[in-house]
A = this chain, B = another copy of it.
Amino acid sequence: MGTHLHHPTLKKNQQLVQDVLLASSSPLSAYSILDVLRDQGFRAPLQVYRALDKLVEFGLVHKLESLNAFVACSHEECELDEPAAFMICETCEGVSELNDSKLTGYLGKLASKENFTLKHTTVELHGLCSNCE
């Protein structure tokens, strides 16, 4: 396990975005979040993107690159411990976040074998979850 850093108290917009993501059973695009938050006064995409940037920085939210969408972290917070992988169901759109140290370790090995300095990994597995099979 890596060092656990406390994130600062969330600002108003950050908290609103975080609440929307926590309430969702599947990843949401920035524009979907915007639509939900129009009632709370959101008017422009940048309000969402700025909040998301911070939440991702704090490790409270992850971006799924293959979906252009965002999910709340399934754990307390990933912080410096990057999530290892996401399993994404094509049918129900459910996502489960895996923190598998063996996978992380192996990706690190692959990188060092080529003298590649690893900064960030994206691992997204698409398929069908056990329910949807």
Contact = CB atoms under 8 A, between A and B. Distances in A.
A3 interface: no
A130 B110 contact: no
Interface in A12-58: none
Interface of A: 65-66, 85, 87, 89-90, 96, 98, 100, 102-103, 106-107, 110-111, 114-130, 133
B66 A87 contact: no
A90 B128 CA distance: 32
29 contacts: A65-B66, A65-B124, A87-B110, A87-B111, A87-B114, A87-B116, A89-B116, A106-B106, A107-B123, A107-B125, A115-B129, A115-B130, A115-B133, A116-B127, A116-B128, A116-B129, A117-B127, A117-B128, A118-B125, A118-B126, A119-B126, A119-B127, A119-B128, A120-B126, A120-B127, A121-B125, A121-B126, A122-B122, A122-B125
